[in-house]
Structures are given as C-alpha cells and as structure tokens.
Structure 1
Amino acid sequence: MATRHLYVVRHGVADPFGELTEAGQRQVELLGRRLTSLPIDAVWHSPLARAVRSARILGEHLPGVAVREAAELVDHVPHVPEEIPPAWAGFFDGYDAAEAAAGARIAEALIGRFAMPADVETHEVLVTHAYPVAWLVRDALGAPPARWLGLNCGNTALTVIEHRAGLAPTLVLYNDMGHLPAELRWTGFGPGTRP
C-alpha cells in the first residue's frame, strides 16, 4: 500500500514586504539540513515570495529534487465560520461573501490536490503559510471546518501527515521546531512563550 508522506512547513520569517529576513533564511537553512535525511521526491511551494525563496533554499539542500510552484499552497483564509468566535471578530471584520467563497475554493483545491493517497510511495515537502498548514491538519484529523482557527504553526516548523488508501490520514508530527534554536522558534502570532 503506497503512502503519501507530506512534510508541511510554513515559510521562514519574512519582513512586511514578504521577503525572508536574515532569521528566516537561517530557519530555512536549518530545516534544509533536517530534511536531507529523508527520501524527498519533490518540493512544492506557494507562489508568494517568502515561500518561493524558502523552497529554493530547501532545494539547495536536496540536490536533484524538483522544486515547483503549486497555486493551491497560496496564503488564504480557508473557512469563515457562520458564527465567528468573539476573539476572532476583528480578524474577520470586513470579510465579504465573495472573499469567503474564494478562500473556500482554494481550500478545497488544496485538499483535492495534496490530501490524498498517491499511486506510488511519495515524500513531498509543501512550503506554504500558517493557514493552509492549519487547514491540512484540521482535514487530517477530520475536525469541523472552524477548528483551523488557533492552530498556529511556527516559521519552518515541521508537520508530517501521511495518506494511505482505505485509511484515515495520520498526523505523525505537528509544529515540530526541534531543528531550531530557541531564539528562532516563533509562530508570528503575537508574543508568548517559545517552546
């Protein structure tokens, strides 16, 4: 039975213009070293600059591995709940039905392309953004759509999901930052303790 191994990562820390910072580049370098021990077949990335640059750095650590764009990995809000939790009211303020529908279409395409078994054993790295990572985790767990809220992942944190034919997905690892020193472990979502 073939397994599709997804190594889902958020890009490195970026500046307000979407370019990797020095810390972000260091995070990606450390992640690249970690991934060298795995039989990676492909690196897919979002079309946004911070993900493109992160994927290229990873590709330098994985000689011969194809590095390609996947539009489904773009940063997007995958689901807008009908009843918005009070703590999230400001986040969703101004979202209209068209924006919510567009985000839902991208989320559906993301799941349709990557969250399924493969015909042959594959090991793929997905370089994306916090919300698509949360959406893929929520899907793997079979959780209700609104449960993507609050699943904050760190920059270059490693999440591993396996998909096998006839079985529910397996969440092997979530938000693992073991390859990063303490000063580089950050979710980007407000202050707080760094694990």
Structure 2
Amino acid sequence: MATRHLYLARHGAADAFGDLTDVGRRQASLLGERLAGLPVDTVWHSPLPRAAASAHVIGEHLPGVPVTAAAELVDHVPYVPAAPDLPRAWAGFFDGYDDAERAPGERLAAELVDRFAKPTETETHEVLVTHAFQVAWLLRHALDAPPARWLGLNSGNTALTVLEYREGLPPTVVLFNDMGHLPQDLRWTGFPPSQRP
C-alpha cells in the first residue's frame, strides 16, 4: 500500500521584516541534515521569503531534490471561529476580522488540504516548509478535530511534524513539533517566552 509521507516544518527564525536570520539559517541547515537520510521527492515551500530561504537551505542537504514554491503553503489565518465558538483568550487576536477576511483564508485552507492532505498512488516523501498556522491546520485536519482546534497548536521554528496518508485509512500523526535536530539554544524560537519550557 502506497504511503504519502509529509514532513512539515515551520520556517527558520526570521527578523521583523520576514527575512531569515543567521539562527534561522542554522536551524534550517540542521533540519536538512536530519532529512538527508530520507528518500525525499520534493521540498515544497510557501512563497514568502522566510520559508523560501529555509527550503533552499534544507535543499542544500538533499542533492537533486527539487525545491519548489506552492501557493497553498502561504501564511494565512485558515479559520476564524464564530464569536460563540471563539475561546475568550483568542478574542483579541481576531478583532476586526469580518466575512471579507474570513473567506480567502478558508479558501486557502481548503486548497491546502485538497493538495497535500490525501493519499497518492505511489510512495512519496514530501517536505513542506511553511508557517505555524498551516502546520496547525494540517495537523487539525489529520486528527479530524473541529475547525477551531487549530488554535493553540503551535510549532517552533524548523520543528518537524510528520503525517502519513494511506488509501482507506485515517491519516497517521507520526511526530508533532519535534526539535530533536536542534541544540538547546536553537529550540523554542517562535514561541513567546511564557510558553517555553
């Protein structure tokens, strides 16, 4: 039975302008070293500079593997719960969101799932370098959790999440937010200090 292996990673640490920092480059390089032993077919990345740069650094460790942009991986808010379903702690984050802003995010989220969150006819190993919200959305989908459950599923920079898809079976969550390839000083970037262990 063919398995589609998705290796999801948030981009490396970036500066306030969205450019990869030296720390982010080192994180991406270490993730590339970790993935080098796998039969990776493609490295897909968000078109945003921090994800594209991370993907190219990862690709340096995967000779001959194409590194290609995928519009579905762009950073966006995938789903905004209706007011009665919105946890009070998140209310301020979504202040000002209206239906005109919700619709494009939900459309992109559906396109992301439709493109990547399903089995393929042949065995594939794909790396997706994207953003925290997209990792959370794909994980939520794999778990068949309610749409609002993407909230609070945070990923560190270059943390690895692995999902597997097989025909006729529910998706398998192999790893979530694994930072084993990073030394202690490079872990937990992308999280507020209050959320770091």
TM-score (norm 1): 0.98
Instruction: Return the offset for 1:189.
Output: 3.1
8 Å CA contact retained: 2:13, 2:189: no
AA aligned to 1:161 is L
- Correspondence list, 1:24-43, <5 A: 24-43=24-43
Counterpart of 2:53 in structure 1 is 53
Unaligned 5+ segments in structure 2 are: none
8 Å CA contact retained: 1:10, 1:127: yes
8 Å CA contact retained: 1:43, 1:126: yes
AA aligned to 1:156 is T
Instruction: Name which of 175, 178, 195 aligns with 2:177.
Output: 175
Query: Partner of 1:171: helix, strand, or coil?
Result: strand
Instruction: Return the offset for 1:182.
Output: 1.1
Task: Report Cα offsets for 1:91-144 as digits up to 9, x if no partner.
Answer: 100111111111000000000000000110000000000000000000000000
Counterpart of 2:93 in structure 1 is 91
Flag as ranges the 4+ runs of structure 1 deviating above 4 A: none
Give aligned-pair identity as a percent: 70
8 Å CA contact retained: 1:135, 1:148: yes
Counterpart of 2:124 in structure 1 is 122
Unaligned 5+ segments in structure 1 are: none
8 Å CA contact retained: 2:41, 2:65: yes
User: What is the rounded CA distance, in whole Å, between the counterparts of 2:79 and 2:166 in structure 1?
Assistant: 26
AA aligned to 1:108 is A
Query: Partner of 2:75: helix, strand, or coil?
Result: coil
**How many pairs are equivalent?**
195
8 Å CA contact retained: 1:182, 1:194: no
Counterpart of 1:12 in structure 2 is 12
Query: Partner of 2:60: helix, strand, or coil?
Result: helix
2:138 corresponds to 1:141 = no
TM-score (norm 2): 0.97
Q: CA RMSD in A?
A: 0.9
8 Å CA contact retained: 2:48, 2:74: yes
AA aligned to 2:121 is D
Counterpart of 1:107 in structure 2 is 109
